[in-house]
Every structure is written in C-alpha cells, then in structure tokens.
Amino acid sequence: MIELPEAYVLAQQINDTLVGKTIAEAAANQSPHGFAFYAGDPAAYGGMLNGKTIVSSNPGTGYTCGGNVEIIADDMLLVLSTPIRYHAPGAKLPAKHQLRLSFTDGSALTCTVQMWGAMLCYPKDGGKAPDAYIIRSCPSPLEDAFDEAYFQTLMDDHTEKLSTKAFLATEQRIPGLGNGVLQDILWNARLHPKRKMHTVDKGQRRRLYQSVKQTLADMANNGGRDTERDLFGQNGGYQTILSKNNVGLACPACGGIIKREAYMGGNIYVCEHCQPLSL
C-alpha cells in the first residue's frame, strides 16, 4: 500500500515527469508475485496501454478513494498501490518487476511489489474499480471537506471499542492512512496506539483530528517520509519521530526512550511518557 503523503508526492512527480510521454510497450506480471493484484488478465495490459499517452496523475482522488496513485493514459486508468520508480533513458531496469511501462523516448516506469500491491488497469469511463477502491467513498484528509464534523462521523458504537490504531488504520475509514503514518499522528496527539477510543475524551478527539490533518500535510509538503522513497528512489524529507529509524533514541519532547513492540500484526513505536496507556 502507498500511504497518503507518498501518494501525493508520487502523483505530483508523475505529473512533472511523465505527462506527454507515450507508452511504447506495457508489460504486466513478468515476475509473478503471489500478492500482486491486477484487474482482469495482466497479459491484456499491453493491448490496453500500448500507444497511449500519459495525460495526468492524482493521489487517488479522481476515480478511487486514496491510498494509491491514479495515472490517466488517454482513455485508460491505472490505479497503483505499490512502489513506483522512474528510469531515465538508458538506465538499468530492475531484474524483477510486476508492471513496466516503456516510453517512446527510452525512459520507463516500473512497479515492484514488496509485501502486496495492486496494479489495476481499466477504461477510465465505464470501467469499475474493485469494491476496495470504491469511488470517492470519503474525502482525503488533505482536502477541506475532511473537516472536524466529517471526522466525527467516523465514530460510532463500534469504534468506541477499538484502539486508536485500529480506529485510524483499519476498515478503510481513512484510505491511505496506514500503520506507517499513524505513529507520528498518535505521538503528536499524545495518544498510545493501544488506547481504547472510549477512553479518549472530547478534547483529545479534537487533538487527534488536528494531528491527522497537520501531520499528513507536513509529510506530504516535505516530500514524504524519510522511511519511504519517491519516484526517483530518493528518501522523503519529512523526518519521522516514531519509526524504525528512531527505536532506542530519545524522544524529542521528553527525552524518554522510543520503544517498539508488536501489535495488531505490525509494529508500533511509542514514547511511554508522552503517550501513556493508562489514564
């Protein structure tokens, strides 16, 4: 999955770099991967994309619901939720990839699945995204429509039983907000990832909403996180506070030690002083 800040960065870089380029050859599934997902038969991608020209890109805000990058190539739509790389003319391409677009000027774009990833291709008008990519099911946190009133609608009797991590990062409540970005969101809100939502008071919920908006904006505006790579393989400029890069280091707010532990099928990073689990 591409998380929200990186989706915005990648979409802008694609607009700056690829718009106007014509696809000479598209190839999908040349290196089969058990968790690479396509729309229909990947062998048909060449027939759908060869000869098409890149028109625009957006961070999953045109036809789907975020957490991916959309590329419009004439009358076709590519929806990508896996790492994307640009290769200048003459550059060596990765030995294994799950999608390749070779352009007439000799440059190329590749997608290489790490854990899992979708590379969907279908007509932009009349095509249908899978249910997990329901069209515009919610606004992006980086849009004005994602206001505090909308944020409150995400909470109900069911979510009161969830942890803050589960509330933010499961069931696609906020597409593109995953386990990576939520670490700094919760640190900025001073909430522990295991803290149950029913213990989070009104003031803390407002702080959580503000942290979602501001933290994601900071990540996107700084070129993505330093734990992720952009279209050109460069790490983002946003310096994560809680991530794999900071385990065992001092918390910048209180000087406590940043710890890592397993939770809900992944790792969480916490400062137990700034983010107390017990009230």
- The residue-averaged pLDDT of 195-209 equals 97
| Per-residue pLDDT band at 8 (split at 50, 70, 90) | very high
Comparison of pLDDT for 136 and 31, the residue scoring more: 31
Q: What is the phi/psi pair of residue 150, to 5°?
A: -65, -45
Q: Which of 167-171, 206-210, 258-262 has the lowest mean pLDDT?
A: 167-171
Instruction: Judge if 129 and 168 occupy the same domain.
Output: no
Percent of the chain with pLDDT over 90: 87
Average confidence (pLDDT) over 166-192: 95
Task: Report the distance separating Cα 14 and Cα 21, nearest Å.
Answer: 11
State which of 133, 156, 175 marks the end of a domain: 133
Q: What is the pTM of this model?
A: 0.94
Residues ≥6 apart with Cβ < 8 Å to 82: 1, 2, 36, 98, 111, 112, 113, 114, 116, 117, 118, 119
User: What is the domain count for the chain?
Assistant: 2
**143 assigned to some structural domain:** no
Same domain, yes or no, for 63 and 160?
no
Helix ranges (DSSP H) in 27-178: 45-49, 148-153, 164-169
CA 18, CA 5: separation in Å to the nearest integer?
Answer: 20
The pLDDT of residue 132 is 63
Same domain, 120 and 233: no
Instruction: Read off the pLDDT of residues 110-132 as tens digits, 9 standing for 90 and up.
Output: 999 988 899 999 998 876 666 66
The fraction of the chain above a pLDDT of 70, given in percent, is: 96
> How far is CA 241 from each of CA 139, 165, 174, 205, 228, rounded to the nearest angstrom?
26, 17, 21, 21, 14
Higher pLDDT, 127 or 42: 42
Whether residues 163 and 221 share a domain: the answer is yes
Q: Enter the tokens of residue 39.
A: 């729309």
Mean pLDDT for the chain overall: 94
- Over the stretch 70-106, which tens digit does the pLDDT of each residue have? 999 999 999 999 999 999 999 999 999 999 999 999 9
Same domain for 159 and 80: no
For position 278, what pLDDT does the model report? 78
The pLDDT of residue 255 is: 96
pLDDT single digits (tens) 218-271: 999 999 999 999 999 999 999 999 999 999 999 999 999 999 999 999 999 999
- Give the domain range for residue 39: 4-133
Q: Which residue has the higher pLDDT, 30 or 128?
A: 30
What single-letter DSSP state applies at residue 163? B
- Digit-coded pLDDT (tens) for 149-165: 999 999 999 999 999 99
Sign of CA dihedral 119, 125, 129, 134: positive
Q: Which of 84, 101, 133 is the last residue before a domain boundary?
A: 133
CB-based contact 72:55 (threshold 8 Å): yes
Domain boundary among 133, 162, 186: 133
The pLDDT value recorded for residue 277 is 92
- Same domain assignment for residues 106 and 211: no
- Asked if residue 113 and residue 59 are part of one domain, the reply reads yes
